[in-house]
């Protein structure tokens, strides 16, 4: 193995590590956090649209029902999140990486 | 007079008679007129002795006059069908039942009926280009007032939902760091499109009601009716709707002076108390009394309608929209 090849191999390794480090420390927690925040807002949106799913009568559910065909994914994910959300603290706590 | 004229008031005061008579008067003055009944217990059909339904139909014997009766029930099922249709094309079979239950539930809530009626109201107002005047015979006070205060409330609601949705979509877009596919994108989001359409519709309804509609309250010379009218004026004023006047209906005719039987004495007493109440209406309300209609012996229909129409001193001429 020539010196040039060894340097190239080392640079590849270093680059991979750096990318991994950047992903793990910066980009992954960042988008996860933002996505969690987006999910929280979406939950509030869904709750405002369909409070009757929890037995709270809503005078506008007649109109929000129109949105249901387009909210399939959101609806399913929302229900799932509502089930396994132990407490608000738990959910908020998850958003911090120590 | 503005293009849309609403007649409201307590149940049984004669809103249908008065609005039919006014529509008749407008049609006779050469205006293309539509009379719309929104009362679930439709009686426009009885006044004109002709069956009407959800689409405008010409009234026999009166040229330039159409009539229709809104049917919220039908509108609710039409709305339900529409959603179910897009449900079957959009949603995977596994989720259909889950979402279907939610949709069914939404159509059985107490507000559904009012929302449907409101939708029809807006439809009629929006598609009324061919008419010079649209007369609404509304259902008794409580229901109608709530209905007419809806646009502002609903517009605010749609606006808030829209803001939430936009915010979450924006965050999802931002979360797509480093060339990842965002989970939702703003461009072509059907939920935002739908909410925007709704909001615009509510805004239009509010604008039409505030700027192109005039309201009249039909009142009988009795204590209950007067009290309810006072409350009704209060809420219409609160909603910044334009109340133009009061129409006093079912006044007792006065007997001739030489009559002195039991009937005549009764009538004279009755007329005296009614004068008191008329005075109250004139002095304590800041809205003018625009018509005083004496009770008819027979049901008001046919020729009697023209008679009553003549007693309604409400401007017919179309006033330009400012």
Label residue A17 by pLDDT band (50, 70, 90): very high
- What is the mean pLDDT of the segment spanning B242-251? 88
Query: Is A16 buried (19+), middle (13-18) or exposed (0-12) by CB count in 10 A?
Result: exposed
Q: Which residues of A touch B154 (CB under 8 A)?
A: 60, 63
pLDDT digits (tens, 9 = 90+) for B130-140: 999 999 988 76
**Residue B208 reports pLDDT greater than 70:** yes
**Per-residue pLDDT, B309:** 78
Containing B4, the helix (H) or strand (E) segment is strand B4-8
pLDDT band, residue A9 (cuts 50/70/90): very high
Pairwise pLDDT comparison (B149 vs B166), residue with the higher score: B166
Q: Label the pairing between strands B4-8 and B133-137.
A: parallel
Q: Are B87 and A68 in contact (CB under 8 A)?
A: yes
CA pair distance B152, B148, nearest whole angstrom: 9
Kindly indicate the confidence band of residue B157, based on its pLDDT and cuts at 50, 70 and 90.
Answer: confident
Q: How sure is the predictor about B100, in pLDDT bands with cuts at 50, 70 and 90?
A: confident
The H-or-E segment that residue A30 falls in is helix A28-49
Q: Do A65 and B83 touch (CB under 8 A)?
A: yes
Write down the pLDDT at residue B98: 77
- Supply the pLDDT for residue B287: 87
Q: What pLDDT is stored for residue A88 in this prediction?
A: 59
Chain B residue with Cα closest to A26 = B177
User: What is residue B312's DSSP assignment?
Assistant: B
Q: How far is Cα of residue B272 from the mean position of the Cα atoms in its chain?
A: 34
Higher pLDDT, B76 or B90: B76
- Give residue A25's pLDDT: 80
Inspect the interface and report whether the beta carbons of B164 and A60 lie closer than 8 Å.
Answer: no
CB-based contact B190 A70, cutoff 8 Å: yes
Share of chain A above pLDDT 90, in %: 15
- Check whether B205 has a pLDDT greater than 60: yes
- In angstroms, the CA A19 to CA B147 distance is 60
Q: What is the DSSP string of B113-151?
A: HHHHHHHHHHHHHHT-TT-SEEEEEPPPHHHHHHHHHHH
**Chain B contact probe: residue of A62, A64, A72, A73 with most B CBs at under 10 A:** A62
* The pLDDT of residue B255: 85
Closest CA to B197 of A61, A66, A73: A66
Please state the rounded mean pLDDT for residues B158-164.
Answer: 90
The answer for residues whose C-beta is within 8 angstroms of residue B119's C-beta and 6 or more apart is B75, B79
Q: Is B130 left (phi over 0), alpha (psi -120 to 50) or beta?
A: alpha
Res B304: pLDDT = 72
What distance in Å separates residue B115's CA from the closest CA in chain A? 7
Distance (Å, whole) CA A25 – CA B108: 51
pLDDT confidence of residue B320 = 63
* Rounded percentage of chain B residues whose pLDDT exceeds 90: 10
Question: Does A71 contact chain B (CB < 8 Å)?
Answer: yes
Over residues B258-283, the pLDDT tens digits come to 888 888 888 999 999 998 899 988 88
Task: Compute the C-alpha angle B53/B199/A79, nearest 5°.
Answer: 100
Q: CB within 8 A of B46, min separation 6: which ones?
A: B16, B299, B301
Record: contact B83-A53, CB cut-off 8 A: no
Q: With a cut of 60, say whether residue B294 has pLDDT above it.
A: yes
Specify the pLDDT at position B131: 93
For residues B154-181, give the mean pLDDT.
84
Could you tell me the strand order of the sheet in which B57-58 lies? B57-58, B65-69, B33-37, B133-137, B4-8, B213-219, B243-251, B289-294
Whether B220 and B248 have beta carbons less than 8 Å apart is answered as: yes
Tell me if A62 and B103 make a contact (CB, 8 A cut-off): no
Q: Average pLDDT of A22-38? A: 80
The pLDDT of A54-83, averaged and rounded, is: 80
Contact A43, A32 (CB under 8 A): no
- Give percent above pLDDT 70 in chain B: 92
Q: For residue A4, give how far its alpha carbon lies from the nearest alpha carbon of chain B (Å).
A: 31
**Which pLDDT value is given to residue B135?**
92
Residue B321 has pLDDT above 60, yes or no: no
What's the pTM?
0.78
Whole-number Å distance between alpha carbons of B182 and B163? 19
| Predicted local distance difference test score (pLDDT) of residue A5 | 92
Q: Which residue among A30, A44, A50 places its CB closest to the CB of B177?
A: A30
Average pLDDT over residues A44-64: 81
Which region among A71-80, B20-29, B54-63 has the lowest average model confidence (pLDDT)? Answer: A71-80
How wide is the angle at C-alpha A44 spanned by C-alphas A42 and A50, nearest 5°?
A: 100
The answer to whether B24 and B62 are in contact (CB under 8 A) is: yes
Number of residues written out for chain A: 98
Chain-wide mean pLDDT for chain B?
A: 84
How deeply is A92 buried, as exposed, middle or buried, from its count of CB atoms within 10 A (0-12, 13-18, 19+)?
exposed
pLDDT at A1: 78
Residue B302 has what pLDDT?
A: 66
Say what the pLDDT of residue A89 is. 62
The verdict on a CB contact (< 8 Å) between B83 and A63 is no
Asked if B71 contacts B91 with a C-beta cutoff of 8 angstroms, the reply is: no
Q: Which range, A62-71, B38-47, B174-183, B193-202, has the best average confidence (pLDDT)?
A: B193-202
What six digits make up the tokens of A98? 């120590």
Distance from CA of A13 to the nearest CA of B (A): 21
CA–CA separation, B220 and B248 (whole Å): 6
| Residue length of chain B | 322
Report pLDDT for B116: 86
Q: Is B32's pLDDT higher than 90?
A: yes
What letter does residue B109 receive in the DSSP assignment? S
Angstrom distance (rounded) from CA B16 to CA B27: 16
Cβ neighbors of B295 (< 8 A, separation 6 or more) are B250, B251, B252, B253
């Amino acid at each position: 193995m020539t010196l040039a090849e060894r340097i190239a191999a080392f640079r590849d390794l270093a680059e991979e590590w750096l990318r991994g480090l950047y992903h793990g420390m910066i980009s992954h927690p960042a988008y996860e956090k933002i996505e969690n925040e987006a999910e929280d807002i979406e939950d509030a949106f869904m709750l405002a649209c369909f409070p009757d799913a929890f037995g709270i009568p809503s005078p506008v559910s007649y109109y929000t029902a129109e949105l249901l065909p387009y909210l399939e994914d959101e609806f399913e994910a929302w229900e799932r999140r509502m089930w396994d959300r132990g407490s608000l603290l738990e959910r908020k706590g998850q958003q911090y990486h120590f | 007079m503005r293009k849309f004229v609403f007649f409201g008031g307590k149940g049984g005061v004669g809103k249908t008679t008065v609005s039919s008579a006014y529509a008749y008067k407008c049609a006779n003055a050469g205006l293309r007129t539509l009379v719309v009944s929104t009362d679930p217990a439709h009686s426009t059909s009885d006044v004109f002795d002709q069956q009407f339904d959800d689409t405008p139909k010409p009234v026999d014997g009166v040229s330039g006059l159409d009539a229709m009766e809104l049917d919220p029930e039908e509108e609710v099922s039409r709305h339900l069908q529409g959603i179910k249709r897009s449900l079957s094309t959009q949603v995977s079979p596994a989720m259909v039942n889950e979402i279907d239950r939610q949709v069914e539930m939404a159509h059985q809530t107490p507000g559904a009926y009012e929302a449907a009626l409101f939708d029809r109201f807006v439809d009629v107002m929006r598609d009324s280009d061919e008419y010079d005047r649209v007369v609404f015979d509304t259902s008794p006070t409580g229901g109608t007032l709530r209905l007419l205060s809806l646009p502002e409330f609903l517009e605010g609601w749609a606006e808030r939902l829209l803001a939430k949705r936009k915010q979450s979509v924006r965050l999802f877009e931002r979360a797509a760091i480093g060339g990842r596919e965002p989970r939702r994108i703003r461009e072509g989001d059907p939920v935002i499109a739908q909410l925007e359409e709704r909001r615009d519709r509510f805004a239009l309804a509010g604008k039409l009601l505030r700027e192109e509609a005039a309201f009249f309250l039909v009142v009988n010379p009795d204590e209950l009716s007067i009290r309810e009218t006072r409350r009704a004026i209060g809420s219409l004023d609160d909603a910044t709707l334009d109340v133009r006047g009061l129409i006093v209906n079912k006044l007792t005719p006065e007997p001739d002076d030489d009559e002195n039987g039991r009937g005549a004495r009764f009538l004279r007493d009755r007329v005296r108390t009614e004068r008191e109440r008329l005075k109250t209406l004139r002095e304590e309300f800041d809205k003018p009394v625009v018509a005083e209609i004496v009770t008819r012996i027979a049901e008001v229909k046919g020729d009697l309608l023209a008679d009553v129409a003549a007693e309604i001193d409400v401007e017919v001429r179309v006033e330009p929209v400012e």
